[in-house]
Amino acid sequence: MRIARRTFLKSCAAIGAAGAASALPASARETAPVPDGAGVLVDTTKCLGCRTCEAACAEANGLAAPEAMGDDAIFATHRTTSPGQFTVVNKAQGGGEDRYAKSQCLHCLVPACASACPVKALDKTEAGPVVYHEDRCIGCRYCMVACPFDVPKYQYDRAIPYVRKCTMCATRLAKGGKPACVENCPAEALTFGKRSELLAEAKRRIYAPGSTYVPEIFGEHDAGGTSWMYIADRPLSDFGLPRDVGDETRFDKTRGALGAVPFVITLWPPLLMGLYTASRRRDEENDHE
């Protein structure tokens, strides 16, 4: 049975449109701010640089133990998270008294990674954490492009790779617990609670009589706000915290730019196939004449 060219092209367009519609990032449409979920306040004036949080994170997530525990030489180089280490402690740059801070996923209120994901492999839960569903991930790595903090990491060395990052110990939170890093911090540099309460506590410390804190809370507004927030008694830029992400969420930017990619990928093949078939049909008709 021969299919008329017009019918074939209509079918291709319908298939492409249906596929594109299904490929559009549903998470982008559904992601909504979670302003008062769980969060963590990092008080850098209390951090000892002991890296107990690194060890606790590794144990809780079944990762290899952090390297060079107890060796201060590791602070000579600024480190970043990796597929095998979800949090790292770095020493602040600049002069003055030694200060340290851990870094990990900041669990944005409106996470760009989740809005860019075409299959909702990353999801902002009502409890606060941004969690990862490896069974949904297709390895497109749009999340890595979208994240303003360069957090998601990819297992390039694995036959079946996944995206890896801190999940704020979402499983522990669901059972009424705290993130492993918070629970094991010996200096109480990490405070877990509702984000609104943490903001109030941060401001109380900053504006207390005799306070030496700088009047700024990293994460209050940055990138639309984050669940992890930092206070310090020196410029927050000394801790490697990005100061150029702006106060707006990346939601609209990632939805507009990265959301178009699956549309193009899905629609382009049937369009090319239709053009090829039309051209071939025209050549056959010319040869017949």
How confident is the model over 215-264, as pLDDT tens digits? Answer: 999 999 999 999 999 999 999 999 999 888 888 776 666 665 555 555 55
Per-residue pLDDT band for 118 (boundaries 50, 70, 90) equals very high
pLDDT, mean of residues 11-21: 42
Question: Using the 8-state DSSP alphabet, how is residue 121 labeled?
Answer: -
Q: What is the model's pLDDT at position 96? A: 87
pLDDT, mean of residues 35-52: 95
Least confident of 50-59, 92-101, 192-201: 92-101
Q: Which of 254, 282, 267 has its CA nearest to residue 19?
A: 267
Quick one: tokens of 154?
Answer: 């990819």
Q: Which of 162, 114, 102 has its CA nearest to residue 142?
A: 114
Q: What is the model's pLDDT at position 287? A: 67
Residues 6+ apart with CB under 8 A from 41: 190, 191, 193, 198, 201, 202, 229, 230, 231
Q: What is the model's pLDDT at position 95? A: 83
pLDDT at residue 117 tops 70: yes
Q: What is the model's pLDDT at position 24? A: 44
How confident is the model over 139-148, as pLDDT tens digits? Answer: 999 999 999 9
Q: What is the model's pLDDT at position 3? A: 44
pLDDT, mean of residues 68-94: 96
Least confident of 104-108, 118-122, 174-178, 239-243: 239-243
Cβ pair 223, 250 in contact under 8 A: yes
Q: What value does the mean pLDDT of the chain take? A: 85
Q: What is the model's pLDDT at position 190? A: 98
Sign of CA dihedral 23, 121, 156, 227: positive
How confident is the model over 192-219, as pLDDT tens digits? Answer: 999 999 999 999 999 999 999 999 999 9
pLDDT at residue 267 tops 80: no
User: Model-level pTM?
Assistant: 0.79
The Cα-based distances of 186 to 46, 48, 49, 64, 79 in angstroms read 10, 9, 11, 21, 22
